[in-house]
A and B are shown apart, each in its own frame.
Chain A
């Protein structure tokens, strides 16, 4: 992304986030579950954004292995880094929601929370892997293969966690999804757009920083 577009994206993210917060608090009605249900607008948006980041990271990893495009490895890494940040936010917001809805900070019956815990462990190991290999082609390849495994693990783990419900917790809480009426749906779409644009903005900022870093290092090596 050209440098002059980044402030525009940042302004868009800021505007959408402000609009989303205002709509969540003042426009969307309080539903039967009470006020705490409002965290749902951010919790679900953040979760979807984290999936998008992981998927984007795996796609860039695939491009790296397929086309050997320079820079794809860095893009893949930055996307996964953003995915982990949003993944941690999913755990935090989900935990807060669980506390006010069910009275516990952690509920194993919430499939989405358990899935994000597994994904968090998986992608935390991605960083361990990446930083225990010397910079170079080998590190790029291994990171790419692991990132692609991650995007396959998401549906497989989702299925596994659904299957595990039968053996581990036969009947616990029935978590019916909130019924989305007109104004709730609009609020949710604005929240989702806000979090997605925020993620895109952070992705480009981090990428620009990392590219600058690499460029500076190569210039220093030329001077030395």
Chain B
């Protein structure tokens, strides 16, 4: 168990150090989410409600996550690192967990900027929205990392990821929007937690088959 956690830590650390040195994913995500929020200003007609803006916030989050996820396995693929990782004497699911943690860190950092920016541009952010964003991030990273691994193995690569990811992200969007705009917050937060648990378990159990033959 401790060996497994040490593997996960080393793998997540590798991705974070790479990002710190190369800085190619996080700045792109930050700039993208800010540009998206600016686009939303022009999308919303003058008399639309604050609720519509809150719904759009979830569009921004899902697409920003997609931007980060499409680069998730870029380094592994270009340098052939993934073969080395698969050959390493560790459980293959550790590769998924380490990568998901790194993506979660990027997405979390992007949201630390995006949520206050949203509050300034549109309307205030309340507690349930923050809780829903945190829960949704877990599900997005769990499912998204597995699908990014799949997309990286295909010829279509980045083109394929949104097609695979968006149908699976619809329940996340429902839970997130529900928690932000409805008064029955717990119901939606519970649903997001259920989604996270189910799909994290499934992704953890099945990642081995994505990287091996």
A residues engaging B (CB < 8 A)?
Answer: 65, 118-119, 121-122, 124-125, 128-129, 132-134, 136-138, 141-142, 144-146, 148-149, 152-153, 156-157, 159-161, 163-164, 166-167
Q: A142-B150, A166-B178, A166-B182 are in contact. Are A149 and B168 (CB under 8 A)?
A: yes
Q: B150, B155, B164, B187: which contacts A163 (Cβ < 8 A)?
A: B187
Q: A145-B210, A164-B178 are in contact. Are A129 and B191 (CB under 8 A)?
A: no
A128 to B168, Cβ gap below 8 A?
Answer: no
A122 to B168, Cβ gap below 8 A?
Answer: yes
Q: B160, B166, B174, B209: which contacts A132 (Cβ < 8 A)?
A: B160
Q: Is B31 an interface residue (CB 8 A)?
A: no
Q: B146, B163, B198: which contacts A156 (Cβ < 8 A)?
A: B198
Min CB distance B125 to A, Å, is 18
Q: A65-B209, A142-B150, A152-B198 are in contact. Are A167 and B181 (CB under 8 A)?
A: yes
For this complex, 28 residue pairs linking A to B, each with C-beta atoms less than 8 Å apart, are: A65-B209, A125-B167, A128-B163, A129-B150, A132-B154, A132-B155, A132-B156, A134-B155, A138-B153, A138-B213, A142-B150, A142-B153, A142-B154, A142-B209, A146-B164, A148-B206, A153-B168, A156-B171, A156-B194, A156-B198, A157-B170, A157-B171, A159-B171, A160-B174, A164-B177, A164-B178, A167-B178, A167-B181
> With the chains together, A119 CA to B202 CA distance in Å?
18
Interface of A is mostly: helix
> With the chains together, A142 CA to B151 CA distance in Å?
10
B residues engaging A (CB < 8 A)?
Answer: 146, 150-151, 153-156, 160, 163-164, 166-168, 170-171, 174-175, 177-178, 181-182, 184, 187-188, 191, 194-195, 198-199, 202, 206, 209-210, 212-213
> With the chains together, A148 CA to B202 CA distance in Å?
9
Chain A residues positioned under 8 Å from B167 (CB to CB): 118-119, 121-122, 125, 153
> With the chains together, A71 CA to B195 CA distance in Å?
32
Chain B residues positioned under 8 Å from A159 (CB to CB): 171, 191, 194
